[in-house]
Amino acid sequence: MVNEGAGAPRSRRGSHKVVPSSDQDGTGEVSCPSNGETESLNKKSPDPPSHLKADLMRQFDTQVNEFMDSLIEESASLGSSHVSTVFPLSDKEKSKLRHTRPSQSQSKQFVIRRSLLDDLFEVNHIRTIYHMFIALLILFIFSTLVVDFIDEGRLVLEFDLLVYVFGQFPLVVVTWMCMFLSTLVVPYVLLSVWASVYRTSNHRALWTALAGSLLLLYQGLCLGFLPTYVVLKNGLPPASCFILILEQVRLIMKAHSFIRENVPRVRSLQRNKANSLAVPQFTQYIYFLFAPTLIYRDNYPRNPCIRWGYVATKFSQVLGCLFYAYYIFVRLCIPQFRSISMQLFDLRAMVLCVFNSILPGVLVLFLAFFAFLHCWLNAFAEMLRFGDRMFYKDWWNSTSFANYYRTWNVVVHDWLYYYVYRDFLWMAQKQFRAAAMLVVFTVSAVVHEYVLAICFGFFYPVMFCLFMCFGMVFNFVLNDRRKGPIWNVIMWTALFLGQGVLICLYSQEWYAQRFCPIQEPSFLDLLKPRSWTCTPLAL
């Protein structure tokens, strides 16, 4: 199925074009304007001479061939997957498609399209699954109220866990404002000053090195060190930590994309002696900082209006997911891990802990995906009239982990692909593709582990090991050549088990850090998991 807004192929014959009308009905059918030539043909005799029949057949054949050629040429900018899903291409056409692509693959193309779940929720069968999750939330709420009523003799409507994890929120807001304002000013000013000096100076290499050093210094100190220092110095609780650290990572990626996309343009304009505007307008940069994408463009496809009801629905769903996660931890996690933390660390307890953590781990995975990648990003996209809503693809249908990594979070995947994978291949002259993939996995694993270590307050490289060990192995073993339902089952089994391991080990370490504190820990104590040595006597 062709993505909405991806653009219709054009047929060329002389000066005539088949141009899609801007007025489309709800079925997606495009009406084409009538042509004077076709009208005159329709008025001819129903039994034309044989030479006219031959001319018409040749004309029809030429138009069909030109239509297919233009379809293949335009599909190069959108990827062959969009075409092959509608028109199965022959080997000759696929070969032509490969040769029409430029030597360097096209940059990301933004088109107007809806998020996949918005389309799926219009199907009653799929929407029923959404209703089942709402029913499960209602049961969680009732079960919590009933248990509290039996234990306390009254209805307890306190949310101590939520109040704790979002503690010191004013400090979070002030720190975020400083981070955002610095990102708003410093990269743009540095690029503007460098661009103006680069076009007139005879020491371009020196100025480029100086501007690059200042940018790295800013990102390392202002965006890198200061937010981390605020988090650790003030002992912020987990949710407040996640807000600051994830925003820190997002702003660093945004600033890198802005500089990375505009520096080549400035240098290209200098080589071509062009006088066009090299640095984007400040309003374009502001829009990019809020837009739900990590790939900078001067302009994005925009929707004509804002549906404020849609925005309110998405934000209410984010709030609902937050309470959903609260009840999952209150009913499924906290009672279990409090009892486990009173036991010795052994293999039996570990196995039971992992399997008991699969259900809450999977629910947290679904909630994180739905709340952030669907609701949060769609809400901001709607307020900004941002047209391209492909923040994820059908990752649940993946039969390989390679496809899962590409489709789970398209926003981050695009940044890693264009600015890590492709840039590495460019520096390596398109060699060492396996090394480029290893670099991508390493960067992703290190950043994930950094976020978890800072937010939880301890170093326990479970996520790093899962990424670098099992993630790399599954990426090559369960590759794109694996097809069929059995591979989808294997993918889901491994994903469920991985979520159980993450919830189990991090929860055990969280309680061990609090029940078995060390007054003056050495560097080795900071690296060694506390749950391995924490005993009931120490509790």
From its phi and psi, is residue 459 left (phi > 0), alpha (psi between -120 and 50) or beta? beta
Contact 465, 477 (CB under 8 A): no
For 319, the token pair is 């709030």
pLDDT of residue 388: 92
**CA dist., res. 425 & res. 406, Å (int):** 18
**CA dist., res. 74 & res. 58, Å (int):** 24
Q: Would residue 72 count as lying in a domain?
A: no
Residue corresponding to tokens 């981390």: 228
Q: Would residue 224 count as lying in a domain?
A: yes
For 82, the token pair is 């969009």
Which residue is catalytic, options 82, 203, 374, 448?
448
Q: Would residue 401 count as lying in a domain?
A: no
Q: Would residue 265 count as lying in a domain?
A: yes
Choose among 415, 395, 374: nearest CA to 108.
415
Return the axis-axis angle of helices 485-515 and 401-408, rounded to nearest 10°: 70
pLDDT of residue 346: 72
For residues 377, 381, 382 and 384, what is the CA-based torsion angle, rounded to 10 degrees?
A: 140
The torsion angles phi and psi of 502, rounded to 5 degrees, stand at: -65, -50
For 394, the token pair is 């059908």
For 393, the token pair is 């693809």
Residue corresponding to tokens 């899609």: 20
Can 413 be counted among the known catalytic residues? no
- The residue range of the domain holding 232 is 158-300
**CA dist., res. 95 & res. 90, Å (int):** 9
Residue numbers of the chain with a pLDDT score lower than 50:
1-48, 68, 71-90, 92-105, 537-539
Which residues are CB-neighbours of 260 under 8 A, at least 6 positions away?
Answer: 296, 419, 423
pLDDT of residue 275: 56
Which residues are CB-neighbours of 436 under 8 A, at least 6 positions away?
Answer: 420, 421, 424, 425, 428
**pTM score, whole prediction:** 0.76
**CA dist., res. 232 & res. 360, Å (int):** 28
**CA dist., res. 298 & res. 262, Å (int):** 10
Q: Would residue 105 count as lying in a domain?
A: no
**430: enclosing H helix or E strand:** none
Choose among 409, 367, 369, 314: nearest CA to 133.
367
Contact 267, 390 (CB under 8 A): no
CA 31, 36, 42 angle in degrees (round to 5)? 90
**17: enclosing H helix or E strand:** strand 16-17
Q: Would residue 509 count as lying in a domain?
A: no
Contact 266, 195 (CB under 8 A): yes
Q: How many domains does the chain have?
A: 1
Beta strands per DSSP E along 150-211: none
pLDDT of residue 53: 54
CA distances from 253 to 249, 322, 379, 402 (A): 6, 26, 21, 23
pLDDT of residue 272: 60
**CA dist., res. 237 & res. 455, Å (int):** 8
Q: Would residue 45 count as lying in a domain?
A: no
Indicate the DSSP class of residue 16: E
Contact 115, 370 (CB under 8 A): no
Q: Would residue 123 count as lying in a domain?
A: no
Q: Are strands 12-13 and 16-17 parallel, antiparallel or unpaired?
A: antiparallel
Please give the distance of CA 143 from its chain centroid, rounded to a whole number: 35
pLDDT of residue 225: 92
